[in-house]
Amino acid sequence: MKNTRFLLSALVDFPDDCNRLVFTPDLVENLIDRLHWMGVRRVYWNYYQKGMWDNFADNSDATRQTLANLGEPLTVGCRLAHERGMEFYATIKPYETGASHANPKDSPEMMAVPGLPCIGGVCKVDPWVMMHPEMRVRGRSADNPMGLERIPIERIQLRQKDMAPVRITPENIEIWTSNDNNGYRKQDLTFALTESVETCPRDVFELDGDPVTLQGESVRALNLSGLNLLEPFIAITTNFEDREGSFRNTAMEMVRAFGPDGQPIPIVVASHKAVWRPLRDFRIGDLEYDAGLGDAIVCLDVNNQPTVSSDTSAGDSNDGVVAVARGRNEYFSGSLCEAYPEVQAYWLSWVGACIAAGVDGLDVRISCHSSWTNTPEIYGFNEPVTGEYRRRYGVNPDVEPCDPALVGALRGEFFDQFLRATKRRLSAAGKRMQVHAEMESFRSDACQGRWRTRPGNITFNWRSWLHTGLADEATLFGRGWMPDRMLNDALTLEMLREAADTNVPVHLSKAVGHSRAGGIHADLLEYIYRFGGLAGYTLYETAAMYDGQHLGADGQLQFHPGLCEGIRDRVRTLGLID
């Protein structure tokens, strides 16, 4: 007998689907039919405003052709899902209004489509953001002093993560500089190199949260003194040709810069590590500054040449270099600040577009790609926030000592205003509202891999979303954790208890791309189903289910063999479909 208490869903993040495949209405139908066949009864579809679609199309001929074929993709998906008796929910990401990665300002990409400047180059953003750049989430002025470009860097300290012997000598170190972060030149410099033992000032964790060094532990450091560097971008590398290095640390913890009289200089760091365009060569290209990868582990004393080819669009990030630039980015590249009425009105226009498309409900997701930075805690100091803080507490938090928790709470209040307005719009149209409860980032000990996806210093009041009736349903969103870890986490269990107390159904969402084996996904489905207390499981996302570059000889999507079949068989075994 069919079990109606547990719903299998799938999320379509369509820019990934059509990045290299040209979709027609028939091909979208092929996708929806396959989802329905395997037991999916609700489709989530990420909504993107026109400006974001324009950005996606700038980078993909297939996307341009797809949009010409379909018009608004969400409308096509909604119609096809409803024709098959499936529910259809749009997912909006309010803070997703631009890219977190930069391109060199004189690159073909930026010459063709202008963007907004940042320390490492230029970022592509939504045209609305281009017209209102001051409404992006802003950094705290006190953490971004002026005039740093005139201060010479006289000493650089390089710290490794432990007390392992250091094989780097003065003859091994090279310093390369650039005026525009687009091709570095080796400098013939004289400097002194000394080794010291330092005390780690804080607990250091790598990108996904694994411990690197504990506060108070001793580490070896190299001190490069006698410098006089005024160039904007400074890369430190070595001339080793092997890949057996041992000088390792996170990029942010590895390098420090000092000016006259030993004055510490605020910096942003870079390495060859990057999520977009991951295979880089600083000699001929750029490095990614302040894009949320500062806690990635870097090995300095290894060959710094690309490991696959000079094609910077493919391959894995290599090591061998760490770089610095002075200052902080004044704004997030794309994310808008929720405290402006104009921003909330812009977001609400997306809600209206989704309602007009005929959706059954709307899911609001916090995490995004537009807020990535190495120091999210210093952002969120826009005038509406600082003005309200001054009114309540008599202090200007932008330049005076303040309580970051109070700043985050204020921003959370502004975001709740938007959620309440969204709820009213949806209720008036007879639609349901779902909210994301993101256990990986809604926590004080979030790793940088998840902390960077939030729009800076803000508190998201997920408990009140449940208790005040804002949420008709909730998405328990896990990007990096597997379901067994999620469902044995204290915060997750608290979220589930609160949802149960308020009768809010919860759907667990987990990425599909970690495996192509249908049996593995079937076992995860059964584990989540039998765990209890959950209303459904969402497969995130459809682009990971098939060959994203080639259609079959029949012109249809080539789903990975056994993936959908394994899920369908388990769905039937569990009685979720007839």
Could you report the per-residue pLDDT of 319-351, keeping only the tens digit for each? 999 999 999 999 998 899 999 999 999 999 999
* pLDDT, position 316: 57
Assigned domain for 184 exists: yes
pLDDT band at 314 (very low <50, low <70, confident <90, very high): very low
What mean pLDDT comes out for the span 452-475? 94
Q: For all residues of the chain together, what is the average pLDDT?
A: 93
Whether 65 maps to a domain, the answer reads no
Give CA angle at 243 (325, 274), nearest 5°. Answer: 40
pLDDT bucket at 317, cuts 50 / 70 / 90 = low
- Nearest Cα residue to 107 out of 125, 122, 129: 122
**Residue 313 pLDDT greater than 90, yes or no:** no
Q: Which of 245, 158, 243, 253 is nearest to 203 (CA)?
A: 253
Tokens of 35: 């989802």
In one-letter notation, the amino acid at residue 411 is: R
203 is a domain residue: yes
pLDDT over threshold 80, residue 126: yes
Domain of 301, in residue numbers: 148-326
Residues 6+ apart with CB under 8 A from 415: 338, 458, 460
Asked whether residue 48 is assigned to any structural domain, the reply reads: no
Q: Is the pLDDT of residue 94 over 90?
A: yes
Distance of alpha carbon 509 from alpha carbon 438, whole angstroms: 10
What whole-number distance in Å separates Cα of residue 145 and Cα of residue 134? 18
Q: Is residue 523 part of a domain?
A: no
Q: Which residue has the higher pLDDT, 279 or 352?
A: 352
More confident: 423 or 242: 423
pLDDT of residue 452: 87
Looking at the predicted structure, is the pLDDT value of residue 578 above 80?
no
In a domain, 294, yes or no: yes
Asked if the model's pLDDT at residue 315 lies above 70, the reply is no
283 token code pair? 């000699």
312 pLDDT higher than 60: no
Q: Are 10 and 538 in contact (CB under 8 A)?
A: yes
Residue 190 has pLDDT above 60, yes or no: yes
Residue 139 lies in a domain: no
Task: Give me the number of domains the chain comprises.
Answer: 1
The pair of structure tokens assigned to 515 is 């495996």
List alpha helices for 71-175, DSSP H: 73-83, 108-112, 127-131
Cα 417 to the center of its chain, rounded Å = 24
The SS3 call for residue 154 is strand
Specify the long-range contacts of residues 516-523, CB closer than 8 Å, at least 24 apart. 516/560, 516/562, 516/563, 517/562, 517/563, 517/566, 518/562, 518/563, 518/564, 518/565, 518/566, 518/567, 518/569, 519/562, 519/566, 520/566, 521/563, 521/566, 521/567, 522/566, 522/567, 522/569, 522/570, 523/570
**Distance from C-alpha of 120 to C-alpha of 452, rounded to nearest angstrom:** 17
At 545-555, the pLDDT tens digits run 999 999 999 99
Look up residue 165 and give its DSSP letter: P
Answer whether residue 575 is part of any domain. Answer: no
pTM given for the model: 0.94
pLDDT at 103: 87
Distances 578 to 3, 89, 213, 421, 527 between C-alpha atoms, Å:
9, 23, 54, 40, 20
Q: Is the dihedral of CA 539, 542, 543, 548 positive or negative?
A: positive
Question: What's the half-sphere exposure (Cβ side, CA atoms, 13 Å) at 43?
Answer: 33
